[in-house]
Amino acid sequence: MGWAQIVLYSVVLLLCAKPLGLYMARVLEGQTTFLSRVLSPIERLIYRHSGVKPETEQSWKTYALAAILFNVLGMLVVYALQRFQGELPLNPAGLGGVSPDSAFNTASSFATNTNWQGYGGESTMSYLTQMLALGVQNFVSAATGIAVVAALIRGVRARETNSIDNFWADLTRSTLYILLPLSGLFSLVLVSQGAVQTFQPYAKATFVQPTKDADGKPVTEQVIALGPAASQVAIKQLGTNGGGFFNANSAHPFENPTPITNFLSMLAILLIPAALCVTFGEMVKDRRQGWAILAAMTFLFAAFLIPCVLAEQSGNPAFARHGLTTNANWEGKEARLGIENSALWATATTAASNGSVNSMHDSFTPIGGLAPMVLIQLGEVVFGGVGSGLYGMLVFAIVTVFVAGLMVGRTPEYLGKKIQAYEMKMASLVILIPCALVLLCTSISFVWPSADPSVSQAVKGMANPGPHGFSEVLYAYSSMGNNNGSAFGGFSANVPFHNFLGGVAMWLSRFWLMVPVLAIAGSLARKKVVPTGPGTLPTHTPLFVGMLCAIVLVVAGLTFIPALALGPGIESLRMAGGAR
């Protein structure tokens, strides 16, 4: 039944991709949709009061500057709301201001669509902060990603122009016509299934049988955290934001109460990234191109999903040696969801740069934990974040045609545009910056001394020694360095050192990638379209899909295999050999 659910999930996802993708193409082209009668007046009102002229064309530099300044402002607002939340309303639990280092890390995290959380939501953030700071950023950071990929698509199809359209119009349309309607609908479904959405203060439940706390003092009641969770859960999934209203994330029954919400949440994680591939094909007037990119993403996703499920089903061989009746690894998983749904969520959330979890990756087997870790390290290209996944894969497509051109001695072309030195330099930055950030930040954390000079910052935060502890640290900085946001667990990162280093990594990995992507868009927009000839490499065939997947895997393998060998590799060998 678990495998049947995975097949059903894949079929539903691919069936939903086409209609949504075609709808988003109309939205990004400024065409009329079935929601225009209701939303167009609101769109015009936003333009009028913000002073935006949507018909004004922007160069890639102006577009990039607008995107960065908007997100810098958002980051400052999120930081301020956290610091002053103790004096602001909608704080029934009376929570004080967030510490400066944690507030900086969280502001960087949510402004960059990472949503890494080093804190427990219900014990740190007020209702107002959750909604006005984190919830708003869930929308606009996702909309920024859609806007940037729309600009890249226009650059690919344009002919001898300096314009890639208007950032403010793309941001507004993505939020108003795509993210808000989908989130509103999904929120209603979540509430109907039991997800909480309330401004009431935290509830208290009296124990039927009194118990004692860790200090031996009697305890007669439990405080149950509540809040406007359903609305934030909807956009965190649809916007590939991740994070959690509650510390347990989507393993919490108030966020993910039933099998229906579990299935729909997993569907929401990959829905927009998959549909954007169809949008790409529609906007470049060749749907085969979009399906080829979607095929590459789907193949890579399956290549990591299947081993993850099998590893968790096989479990720990030590179980059999001790006479247990099953080897399956149930540790860290919700019994109500099962192994297959846990493994599917783990791979979907790390493939999509989402970061939400319904099980604890720290409790996965070494190979089971390896799959989501590598999906992060591939660099937001297997579906990836909303918008960022597609523009990441398109950059790899540019690299693929360049490599193919070298193999046959021809000038590489992609959709009629010659790929030359400038595009390759920018593509190299997009591919290599996240890799460098992950490895550098992990290395720095292992050599930077803590308060005890004999213990590094990384070792101090590890809950487990040896290779598993190394995996915890590597996963953390892989997540932050690739704007994913999920956590392996077992690593205490909410300290000034990791908050600052991780915050910087998240910011650089978002905007140092976004700028060269827009530079590629601007460069391609200025070029002439080269007619297709007998020597042109078709970029919609199974051959090209295979080459694209191979390039993605080779880049990740050459970069991370040594580090992975020190963590999951050694741990897997030790587990197979019976070592504890």
Report residue 436 as tokens.
């460098």
What pTM did the predictor assign?
0.95
CB 229 within 8 A of CB 102: no
Q: Do 458 and 353 meet the contact criterion of CB atoms below 8 Å apart?
A: no
Whether the CB-CB separation of 241 and 485 falls below 8 Å is answered with: yes
- Identify the pLDDT of residue 579: 57
Sign of CA dihedral 174, 178, 181, 187: negative
Structure tokens at 484: 């994913």
Distance of CA 507 to the CA centre of its chain: 14
- Joined together, the tokens standing for residue 316 give 């720990």
Q: How far apart are CA 125 and CA 133, in angstroms?
A: 10
**CB 204, CB 221: distance < 8 Å:** yes
Task: Write the single-letter amino acid at 67.
Answer: A
- Which H/E stretch holds residue 207? strand 203-212
Going from the C-alpha of 150 to that of each of 27, 271, 289, 385, the distances in angstroms are 11, 17, 15, 14
- State the DSSP code for 448: S
Q: Which of 140, 388, 349 is nearest to 237 (CA)?
A: 349
CB atoms within 10 A of CB 219: 12
CB-based contacts of 2, cutoff 8 Å, min separation 6? 309, 338, 339, 340, 341
207: which residues sit within 8 A by CB, 6+ positions away? 219, 220, 221, 222
Find out whether 83 and 103 touch, Cβ atoms under 8 Å.
Answer: yes
CB 165 within 8 A of CB 58: yes
Which residue do the tokens 């741990």 mark? 571
| CB contact set of 504 (below 8 Å; sequence gap of 6+) | 108
Q: Which two tokens stand for residue 350?
A: 């790390």
The number of residues in the chain equals 580
Which of 568, 485, 456, 366 lies closest to 108, judged by CA?
485
Residue 303: the pLDDT is 96
Q: Give residues with Cβ within 8 angstroms of 419, minimum separation 6.
A: 398, 401, 402, 405, 411, 412, 413
Give per-residue pLDDT as tens, 226-256.
999 999 999 999 999 988 899 989 999 999 9
pLDDT at 217: 87
Between CA 549 and CA 176 the distance in angstroms is 34
- In Å, how far are 80, 320, 456 from 99, measured between CA atoms? 11, 47, 23
Give the C-alpha separation, 446 to 456, whole Å.
5
Percent pLDDT > 90 in the chain is 82
**Which positions ≥6 away from 235 have C-beta within 8 Å?**
135, 138, 139, 142, 179, 183, 241
Q: What are the mean pLDDT values of the chain's consecutive 10-residue runs (580 residues total)?
A: 93 97 96 95 95 94 96 96 95 94 96 92 94 95 96 94 94 97 97 96 89 85 93 95 89 94 96 97 95 96 96 85 81 90 95 91 92 92 93 95 86 90 95 94 95 91 90 95 89 93 95 94 93 84 95 93 93 77
At residue 132, the 3 state secondary structure works out as helix
- Specify the amino acid at residue 97: G
Rounded distance between C-alpha atoms, residue 257 and residue 17, angstroms: 26
Distance CA 135, CA 139 (A): 7
Q: What letter does residue 279 receive in the DSSP assignment?
A: H
Distance CA 471, CA 476 (A): 8
| Residue-level pLDDT at 465 | 84
Report the pLDDT value the prediction gives residue 375, as an integer from 0 to 100: 94
Backbone φ and ψ of 526, nearest 5°: -80, -10
User: What confidence tens digit (pLDDT) does each residue in 360-386 have?
Assistant: 999 999 999 999 999 999 988 999 999
As a whole number of angstroms, the distance between CA 580 and CA 203 comes to 42
